[in-house]
Each structure stands twice: as structure tokens, then as C-alpha cells.
Amino acid sequence: MVENAVVVPEIVHQPEEKIPAKAVGNSVDVSNNKMDKPISYEIQSKASAISSDENKISRTLASANVQKQSAVILTANATQAKALPSLGGDGCESFPECRVYYVNSINTDLKEIYDKFDSLSSLAAFYDKDGTKFNLQKSMVDKNTEYNLIVWDGYINIKKASVYTFLLAWVIPFSNEHATEGSTVLQVNDKKVLIGPTYSGNTCQGILDIDMKVGLNRLRLCILTRDNMSLLKPSTPVIRYKLKNAVGDYREITPANLYHKIMEEDW
């Protein structure tokens, strides 16, 4: 039953007497007027009222659906962290170390396993020579290997000792079939920011204020997803930094801006 439908009573003609209009729901019964509308007009008005109500309901549902699908921005600040171990070696070369892993992310989140990375066995390890971005889909990994955790370890060279602000942003990607879940950690020296888990389309955003020394400073970036990263749509974590409260643009960090220590491996 539609509350706002126009009621069409039996028409009784009383030429000299005008009966006041009577409210029916949000509509008005205007029969018994001197200028009676034909029944066809009443039926058309009734259909219009129903159509109007349906449109209102449709607009309300559409608005609710848009709100439900709106992206969320999760922002986190720095917390104290255990100092990262030295990468060892003598001298430095460009590009960071990169390792990929597969963990059971259904029962494990990044917070629980972050301090255990150095005891895990990686599926692949290499120097990431991508000069433009931190790419989750690595061509160096065997195509038959599934991985859902990727870790970059390197050094950033600082020319001026001061407090620097680091800003991390990453939009959780979709898989080819459905939404996924993701978490990220950025650590510089002894401070880290951990964000997530959160779902596809949402943005992880973190900020670090760190007192940096001149020379090489340790940096680690970790990404964990629920699904195999090779099946995800392209997604690029972005790291920027600058002197704290300095007026001007951030400088973006890419693998080409990071360094690794030269190691002589004999095995």
C-alpha cells in the first residue's frame, strides 16, 4: 500500500457548494471542486505520486550506497621502535635490498610479524633497481611463486643533521576478482608508523618526525596483503620527506635514492 497515493472518491457534483480540500497523506483530495478534473487526470496523478515516491527511495538508497563505498583514509603517527639491524658490509651502492615472503595473512597481521622478518625465510631476495617506484609486482620473482609480503631495506643519505618529516601514502589495491586487505609499515632509524589492516580503495597514510644524523640512516618499508601480490592491480606506495615544517615541496624517495652495503658472499 502506498501512503502518498491520491485518493479518487466517487464524484458528486454540487455546483453551488465548495467543500474544503482534505489532506490525504502528503497529497490533497481536490474533488468536488467547481472545476472537477477528469478521472483520467486523477489516475495519471496517482501514477506520478507513486513514481515520485519510488524516485525518492531510489535516490536515498543510491546515496547510502555511495557512502558505504566511500574510501577511508587511515592516518597514523610515529611510535618508538626497536632499532633496525645494520645491513653490514663495507662501502655502499645504490638501490635497497628487497625480499618477498608468503605468510598466512588470514590469521596473522603485520603488527604481529613485523619484528620477526629477520628470522623468516624469503622466497626471493635481490637488489631492487626500479628507479621510479616501489612496485609490488616484481619481475625478479619467479612467475610460479606466490607472495603476499614484500620488504625493502636500505639506507637514505642525509646531508644536514636535523628533524625531518617523512610522509607515507599507499592506496590498498583490488585483486582481479574481489576486494583485498592490506597493511603497511614505514620505519626510519628507531621510529615506525604502522597502518592497517584496511580494505581495497582505502588509503594508508602515516607521518614520522625523526631526528636524523648526517650520513646513512636505516629505512624499511613493508607491505602485507591478503592476496597474492602478482594478482593485484598496480599499486605504488609513495614515501616523501623534507625538513620539519620547512616551506616547500616534499622530496620523493624511490629505490634509486636508497643504498645497500656491499657484501662479499662466499658460499
pLDDT attached to residue 19: 44
With beta carbons less than 8 A apart as the criterion, state whether 204 and 184 touch: yes
Q: Over 70: is that where the pLDDT of 241 sits?
A: yes
Q: pLDDT digits over 64-113, tens only?
A: 333 334 578 887 777 877 777 677 667 789 999 999 999 987 766 888 88
DSSP-assigned beta bridge partners for residue 209? 165
Which amino acid is present at 15? Answer: P
Mean pLDDT over 187-211 rounds to 92
Q: What is the rounded distance in angstroms from the CA atom of residue 220 to the CA atom of residue 97?
A: 10
**Largest distance between two CA atoms of the chain:** 113
SS3 state at 158? strand
Pairwise pLDDT comparison (257 vs 105), residue with the higher score: 257
Confidence label for 45 from pLDDT (cuts 50, 70 and 90): very low
pLDDT attached to residue 263: 74
